[in-house]
Amino acid sequence: MTLGSQLARLASDRAIAIQGAELGTIALTLAEDTTAPAAVVARAEAPSATPRDFVAGALEDLERVAVELLPAWLPDSSAIGRPDVGGVAAIRMAATAHARHAHYSPAFLADLAVLAVTGHRNRQPGLPVGVRAAQLARLIAAAFGRPRAALLVPVAAGLSPRDQDVIVAGAGWLVHNARMAVWLIGTLPAGGEQIPSVRVTEAPARRLATIGRPHPNSAVESALEAALAAETWADGRQWNQPYRSTPLSTPVRLDLLWPAERCVVEIDGPEHCHPVHFEEDRRRDVQLQLDGYAVLRFTNARIIHDVGAVVHQIGTYLRRRRGDTAEGNTPWPATT
């Protein structure tokens, strides 16, 4: 039985512990199964002091993902996208109208849309925590076209019984109030409060990415390639290229590369939200920039729901890069 089939059999209306597979593998498997819950990877780097703190961290993770998903949950916003006064007013109006139609709190959705566009948060008192959690979870699930959302929480090595009790209590609160799954990835110590535990088995290694082509198991890479194939400026692209900074460096795989323009496009799934992956990505970006490459990063969700905007951004950068090269300029590469 594949890992996806095993995960599909798990309860998504309660907190459970999952053993036998790494968090990144589980997140990637969920991302590729359109019937599975929408995965949100918790980024907590230290145990929470109280269940309230655990819930607050989880809400930050949910809000971060919801912000990244715009315009998936507000299609009208893609035609606005301006952070000026007029643009903010238009975003608020569109979000309020959508909220009434889709049964969200108008103030909640309007504030979230403005945060996504401007980066500025409304500091006025908002919804009760439980209502906000439920609306964020439902919004994320709907944006991905999934039945519900699932928070994936890594279980740290050496977790104390007290820390475990905090996590289990916070997870139970989220399941009850946000109506989402909470899956703790790893082995819980015997001394703390226990929850149902399930052991899964990772399937044999999947087909490897083919150098020069999109990954055969990646619908996201295939969708981006299909959009790029229609653009004449996209010629020269190479998928899944091995790269070494120096002969002694550990080789890495670049998702998409324009070698002549020294432009790298990286596609981030939900597993990249984990602190370890996030830090590895940043180190790799810095090294690529030192080697003279620009790095453009896009999430799976953004490509799936707004591939046109992604292609436009890549094209804008490549045309500017080519123009600078033709004029003899060599600008310091950027990362986005």
Residues facing 183 on adjacent strands: 16, 152
In a shared domain, residues 68 and 165: yes
* Structure token pair of residue 334: 């950027």
Q: Which of 209-218, 245-254, 301-310 has the highest mean pLDDT?
A: 301-310
CA distance 47 to 54: 8
251: tokens are 């080789």
- Cα–Cα distances in angstroms (integers) from residue 303 to residues 144, 207, 266, 309, in the given order: 12, 22, 11, 8
Residues 303 and 181 in one domain: no
CATH number at residue 264: 3.40.960.10
| Residue at a domain's end among 199, 230, 250 | 199
| Average pLDDT score over residue span 122-148 | 89
pTM exceeding the 0.75 threshold for the entire prediction: no
* Enclosing domain of residue 238: 219-326
Mean pLDDT of 110-137: 89
State the pLDDT at residue 108: 95
User: Which residues share a beta bridge with 294?
Assistant: 263
- Written as one letter, the residue type at 265 is V
Let me know whether 188 and 255 are in one domain: no
Number of domains in the chain: 2
Contact 40/152 with Cβ under 8 angstroms?
yes
What is the CB neighbour count within 10 angstroms for residue 256?
23
Do 172 and 237 have their domain in common?
no
Give pLDDT tens digits for 178-212: 999 999 998 887 767 778 899 998 765 454 456 66
Rounded Cα gap, residues 140 and 153, in angstroms: 17
Same domain, 14 and 158: yes
231 occurs within a structural domain: yes
In a domain, 244, yes or no: yes
State the Cα–Cα distance between residues 219 and 86, nearest whole angstrom. 37
Would you say 132 and 55 are in contact if contact means Cβ atoms under 8 Å apart? Answer: no
- Whether residue 188 is contained in a domain is answered as yes
In this structure, the answer to whether residues 29 and 177 fall within a common structural domain is: yes
Residues 35 and 134 in one domain: yes
pLDDT at 336: 55
**Which pLDDT score, from 0 to 100, does residue 272 have?**
46
Residue 204 domain flag:
no
- Of 62-66, 164-168, 177-181, 187-191, the least confident: 187-191
